Amino acid sequence: MKIKLTLFLLLMGTLTAFSQQYTIDGKFTGIPDKNVYLIQYHEGNQQIKDTAKTDQQGAFAFTLSHAKPGMYVVYVSPQNMLELVFNNENISFETTGSTTQDDIHFLTSKENIIYYDYIYTKVNNQNKLNLLRPTIRNYPKADTFYNVMVKQYNLLTDQIANTVKVATLNDPDKLATRYIRSDWPVIPPAGLSEEEETEYLKKHFLDHIDFYDTALINSSILSSRLVGYLQLYQNKNMTKEQAEEAMKPAIDTLLEKATLNGRVYGYVLDYLVGGFETVGFDKLLIYLDNADAAENICEHSTRKEVQNKLDLAKKLAMGAVAPKIATDDIYGKSFDLYKLNAKKTVLVFWASWCPHCTATLPELKKLYDENPGAFEVVAVSVDDDIKALKQVVKENDFNWINIAEGLGWDGKIPLEYGITGTPTFFVLDKDKKIISKPRNMSELKQALALP
């Protein structure tokens, strides 16, 4: 009987642990009756986990069940958002003003008290360092005030380092401490030229990041470090092609360091692929594909997903022949892209319900009418209501080639072209090779060599 009772108590304790609920409650002073969103960073994505509304005092509350430890965001507006470290504890905070730039006071949550002690020190000191750095660089070294500034610069740098060391010494097992150690900025020595600073950071920017720590993939820290490191290899005077070439050594370094942990490597590669897709860095996507970068991802589904993205990028790279489109248009007339006789072809993916599309396509229509024979337009709609689409086409006199499979995003053609947003443009030459992927009408006119 005693053994059975012990087992029962153990079982109840386990069930209680699994059903543990936590709360996040806060107060944004001066922001009454507003929607509040709780967003979780999860392996490169941001997922909305809960919603609430502030009362007349700006207070709100979330209840978390089965929530995973990591970094979350409490979001009201771009000016009123707050990153939180959640690690199985209640969190309570209040702001002293109407924006999160004002002081934030944590009533409960050891994790966030540690984290924001560091954040305040880091942000305030970095702002001062950014003011001091160019002054020191251009100030006469023989002047006594030069040494005063250097001393202050070193003091500010040491204060950030000491905040990290105190957290590591006093609370080494806290999730906040793990985040702090990897977020700790590398600060170049005082007095370096801009070129010397850049070279120093190229060598040391990643020194504090723990690429073994999978907790980083559930935060904003690793992604911000990846972006910061890549930016060191670019400058505003570079062309797109020069920037792509310059970033190759940075990519090699990031992937080499990330191989320490399979999940972190998968996250880093997926983040790079997604970023390069967004900005149209096709050459870097092909560079990753040629290096068989995805082969080093241990998790099968992630490896397959990343490799599919790389394969698609290669298929849609500049200079590649556009994927075949052979189908009927919305009126039942057969169409074959490869048989289209045109000097240039604008292939546009759009939807009648897309506000950006309905603003952009009339501009394309005007350009099309004003330049007869200069280019042809093939408009592929992701609408699933063909009847409604025909009405929009008729009302706007879109007298070009109109195609729609009626399957929305799941149509064969949008999938073949990797379409995830509208409008999306491709410009093809007479041989149907991709010569441009404009992001707006200005870039489209440039690709068509039109005023």
State the DSSP string of 379-435.
EEE--S-HHHHHHHHHHTT--SEEEE-SSGGGSHHHHHTT--SSSEEEEE-TT-BEE
Note the pTM of the prediction, 2 decimals.
Answer: 0.77
Specify the CATH superfamily of domain 326-447: Glutaredoxin (3.40.30.10)
Nearest CA among 41, 30, 26, 108 for reference residue 72: 41
- Answer for the pair 384, 406: CB distance below 8 angstroms, yes or no: yes
**Which CATH code is given to the segment(s) 20-107?**
2.60.40.1120
CA atoms within a 13 Å half-sphere pointing along the CA-CB vector of 20: 11
CA atoms within a 13 Å half-sphere pointing along the CA-CB vector of 145: 7
Q: Which residues contact 80 (CB under 8 A, 6 or more apart)?
A: 28, 31, 98, 99, 100
pLDDT for 2 equals 47
The pLDDT confidence band at residue 94, using thresholds 50, 70 and 90, is very high
pLDDT for 139 equals 95
Per-domain boundaries in the chain: 20-107, 113-315, 326-447
Residue 100 has pLDDT above 60, yes or no: no
Which residues are registered as beta bridge partners of 408?
Answer: none
Both tokens assigned to 51 = 């919603």
Residue 298 has pLDDT above 70, yes or no: no
Which region, left, alpha or beta, applies to residue 70 given φ > 0 means left and ψ of -120 to 50 means alpha? left
Nearest CA among 445, 291, 272 for reference residue 368: 445
- Answer for the pair 44, 26: CB distance below 8 angstroms, yes or no: no
Residue 16 has pLDDT above 50, yes or no: no
Residue 152's SS3 state is helix
Mind listing the pLDDT tens digit for each residue in 167-188? 999 999 999 999 999 999 999 9
Q: Which residues contact 162 (CB under 8 A, 6 or more apart)?
A: none
Mind listing the pLDDT tens digit for each residue in 219-270? 999 999 999 999 999 998 999 899 999 999 999 999 999 988 888 988 898 8
Residue 184's SS3 state is coil
Q: Which long-range contacts (CB under 8 A, 24 or more apart) does 245-250 make?
A: 245/283, 247/281, 247/284, 248/284, 248/287, 250/202
